[in-house]
Amino acid sequence: MNFSDLNLNRFLIDALDEMGFTTPTPIQERAFPLIMSGKDMVGIAQTGTGKTFAYLLPILKQLRFSEQKHPRVLIIVPTRELVVQVIDELTNLTPYINVRFAGVYGGTNLNKQKQLVYQGQDILVATPGRLLDLAFDGILKLKQIQKLVIDEVDEMMNLGFRPQLITLLDLLPKNRQSILFSATLTTEVNAILSQFFKSPTKVEIATSGSPLDTIKQLAYPVPNFYTKLNFLVELLKDKETFSKVLVFVKNKKQANILYEECELLLPGETDVIHSNKTQNYRLRSVKNFEMGFFKVLIATDIIARGLDLTDVTHVINFDIPKEPENYIHRIGRTGRAEQEGTAISFFTEEEAEYLGEIEFLMNTEIDVLDVPEHIEISTKLIGEEMPKVEPEKTGKKKTITEPSGAAFHEKKEKNKRVNLGGSYRREIAKKYKKPKTRGQKRK
């Protein structure tokens, strides 16, 4: 099938041709007729399968010219980077279409984004928090929304956006088409579907939790941070093989330490991105990495989802994520568009359990290899690897001397407390227990 078989208008076909796209991916092919029909839909597909075009193409085909100020299409995504990416895709798809769109997200000037919304938009792309800011300020009217898209909804749950998302869904008009995309179908996602969607049709391209066939997965038991560093640097010295590498770490502190060490050992070859970096810095780092100005990007899970990075040869999990779904999203940065990629994971004894949960989720065994003998095993530890020392217990009880003097007096009998033990507490709990049903009387 070609894009022309989807009965797209010539403006969209011309834009796709200029981008070099002629054939839809499976999720695009299957989602298109469902979204065009107006039915609610949930799409389950791994990162890199073309989910963004899967909903943008049918939405743009159906969108008619209008001069109304309030948006008719709302696209909610979990991160600022994803907002920027969706806006870029809209820009690429609409050079010959008269459509207004804008992206809003936190961490930037709210008043400027109020002006964007006030000018009038057809499509609004937003993160949940900033969307609520605009709605509660009265600048954004949600009652005109005809189509709602929630992308990477499982990541929204992981980032703690569930309350904001529920509030937004309550504010939206009931008579709307709802489209949801996710890489995994968790209990929380199912709860949202049952509460806010109308008999959604499920389109699943890959089994939830299954790895991409184009990614070779390897794992190495490595005892500590600095041994992992030694191994990583040794791998990155092979510049021909490791030409574009994403390195994921578990937190911002380790990301900064790793970046500083790599800058000493591989000067000018790395950059780092995490939530403490400014928005402009993060966007610039991703752009420079994509353009090849440096070959290694160290990151926390903030960019494990959604960003369309091309030709990433390797994903290296410097740490194993506690959530097995995050592993799948991390490695999905490589092996995209039917290219082959490699995912390499370093794991300590403590992280071995996480690796087992990942294998269980994917129903696939990851090849575990020994660390090459020439890699130096370091004894140096970072702060969180240091053994915890419990305070020494002396075994001596604190003695209380009886107070004396005029200020001390015997308590009155009614103010004395008597320890009546567990039986007394059970009686109190029984007396004040909550009724089992509303209106039940206590005896």
Q: What does the alpha-carbon distance between residue 416 and residue 374 come to, in Å, rounded to a whole number?
A: 73
User: Predicted confidence band at 211 (pLDDT cuts at 50, 70, 90)?
Assistant: low
Contact between 74 and 179 under an 8 Å Cβ cutoff? The reply is no
Q: What is the pLDDT of residue 438?
A: 34
User: Predicted confidence band at 305 (pLDDT cuts at 50, 70, 90)?
Assistant: low
Q: What is the pLDDT of residue 35?
A: 96
Q: What is the pLDDT of residues 184-199, one digit of tens each?
A: 777 888 999 999 999 9
Cα-based angle 435, 437, 440 (whole degrees, multiple of 5) = 65
Query: What is the pTM for the complete model shown?
Result: 0.67
Residue by residue, DSSP assigns 316-377 as EESS--SSHHHHHHHHTTSS-TT--EEEEEEE-TTTHHHHHHHHHHHT-PPEE-PPPTTS--
Q: Report the first-to-last Cα separation within the chain, whole angstroms.
A: 73
User: Predicted confidence band at 399 (pLDDT cuts at 50, 70, 90)?
Assistant: low
Q: What is the pLDDT of residue 408?
A: 43
Domain range summary for the chain, segments of one domain joined by +: 3-204, 215-379
Q: Mean per-residue pLDDT for 11-40? A: 93
Name the average pLDDT for the chain: 85
Is the domain spanning 215-379 CATH 3.40.50.10070? The answer is no
Q: What is the pLDDT of residue 332?
A: 82
Strands 101-104 and 73-76: unpaired
Q: What is the pLDDT of residue 338?
A: 67
Between 236 and 330, where is the model more confident?
Answer: 236
Residues in a beta bridge with 203: 43
Between 379 and 420, where is the model more confident?
Answer: 379
Q: What does the alpha-carbon distance between residue 323 and residue 304 come to, in Å, rounded to a whole number?
A: 12
Q: Which two tokens stand for residue 286?
A: 């991703």
Q: What is the pLDDT of residue 424?
A: 38
Q: Which two tokens stand for residue 121?
A: 């938009």
User: Predicted confidence band at 303 (pLDDT cuts at 50, 70, 90)?
Assistant: low
pLDDT at 425 over 60: no
Place of tokens 């065994």: 365
Domains 3-204 and 215-379 in one fold: yes
Q: What is the pLDDT of residues 315-346, one digit of tens each?
A: 999 999 988 878 888 888 888 766 789 999 99
pLDDT at 395 over 80: no
Q: What is the pLDDT of residue 443?
A: 44
Q: What is the pLDDT of residue 267?
A: 94
pLDDT at 376 over 90: yes
Residues in a beta bridge with 317: 248, 345
Of 210-214, 373-377, 412-416, where does the model show the most confidence? 373-377
Report the CATH superfamily, name and number, of domain 3-204. Answer: P-loop containing nucleotide triphosphate hydrolases (3.40.50.300)
User: Predicted confidence band at 45 (pLDDT cuts at 50, 70, 90)?
Assistant: confident
| Residue 372 CB partners (closer than 8 Å, separation 6+) | 231, 234
Q: What does the alpha-carbon distance between residue 180 and residue 175 come to, in Å, rounded to a whole number?
A: 16
**DSSP symbol at 81:** H
User: Predicted confidence band at 427 (pLDDT cuts at 50, 70, 90)?
Assistant: very low
Q: What is the pLDDT of residues 78-134, one digit of tens each?
A: 988 889 999 999 999 999 999 999 999 988 889 999 999 999 999 999 999 999 999
